[in-house]
Structure 1
Amino acid sequence: MKIAPKNRVQRTLVAGAAALTLLASTGCGAINEQATTKSYSASDGIVANVGPIGLRNLLVVAENENSTGRLLGTVVNTSDSPVQLSLTGSGTTATVTVPADGQIRFEDEANETTVDRPGAAPGALANVTVRVNNESADVRVPVLDGTLPEYSSYVPTPAPTESAAPTETPAPSEEPTDQAGA
């Protein structure tokens, strides 16, 4: 009969060890932040909200920091009235009117919006002030070039410059000269 107490002690120790193992393996997950609860921009552009306007995947595509840049991304208006949106950066402003409960996709040809210059080199972040009605926010928008194939068709090409028309120079006169003597 001495075997029974020994089995109870062993069972208690095994159950306690199992409980500690279970607690130790789940305890780390209980105190760590879950990645799925964090909001982040899953693409190349930024995500920001200013008043009733939501900027989704906003970025600028340009050849360099001083060339014309094209805005890409989507602007969503959650209000029941049209909203005037201004994006100002590096001395240049782009303004669009976003329809009530609507959106504007800058990738669409009808909504093509350019800026004179992005103000940052490709691979850097450009400082942009977003103004909606009386609210504004400063955001840092990525500038990309055409290196990635998905953006190459959006890089604005410089407008051809008109060169001066060639001018014709009169041909030298070919009058015979009298070299034989006078």
Structure 2
Amino acid sequence: MKARLAASAALALGIAIGGSGCAMITYQATTEKYDASDGISLDLGDVQVRNALVVSEDGQEGNLVASFTNTGEKRATVEIEVVESGETATVDVGAGETVSLGAGDEEPLLIEDLGAEVGGLAAMYFQQGSAEGREVQVPVLDGRLPEYEDLVP
């Protein structure tokens, strides 16, 4: 009787390990964060920048499209610098607020001297307060796609 019980337990354990073994050792792509849209995202202290991209017709003048969410309890200012030209801009975000730029009825943040190719990337540096700043490669798109045709400066 004991042998039968031990064999049943061993068989159940073997089925459980065999059925879940792949999930224990196989890489799970669903655990990775990624940007599901055309833009890039980054975190700067209490401020989260989401779906940042530039829409431009010629790669020189562009419209920065992004949303900035401040999860902190104090007003935050994000400084943005186009690495190629040194042009700078700032975005103020109230505590617990989200500011969207460049899309719909939102005010565009125009970049006059982007210095990038359409379809390429523009190096931009984002800094918020004392948080460590980050240089990222922001996609530069044009108005060929219907969702971006109204965003071209």
TM category, shorter: 0.7 to 0.9
> Is 1:119 matched with 2:128?
no
Is 1:48 matched with 2:48?
no
- Kindly report which structure 2 residues correspond to 1:1-182, keeping only aligned pairs within 5 A, or say none: 23-24=17-18, 26-66=20-60, 68-89=61-82, 90-91=84-85, 92-106=87-101, 107-135=103-131, 136-156=133-153
Structure 1: which 5+ residue stretches go unaligned?
Answer: 1-7, 157-182
Aligned Cα RMSD in Å?
Answer: 2.1
Distance 2:17 2:141 in 1: 48
For the residues of structure 1 that align with 2:45 and 2:95, how far apart are their CA atoms? 13
Q: How far apart are the structure 1 equivalents of 2:73 and 2:104?
A: 23
Sequence identity percentage:
36
Aligned amino acid, residue 104 of structure 1: V
The change in CA–CA distance for 1:23 and 1:110 in structure 2 (over 3 A counts) is closer
Where does structure 1 differ by over 3 angstroms across 4 or more consecutive aligned residues? 18-26
Which 5+ residue runs of structure 2 have no aligned equivalent? none
Alignment coverage as a number of residue pairs: 142
Cα distance, 1:126 vs. partner?
1.0
Normalising by structure 1, we get a TM-score of: 0.69
- After superposition, give the CA deviation of every residue in 1:35-87 in whole Å (9 maximum; x if it has no partner): 22111101101110011110011110001222x10011211111111111111
More relative contact order, 1 or 2 (CA 8 Å, 6+ apart):
2
Name the structure with the higher strand share.
Answer: 2
TM-score computed with the length of structure 2 as normaliser: 0.81
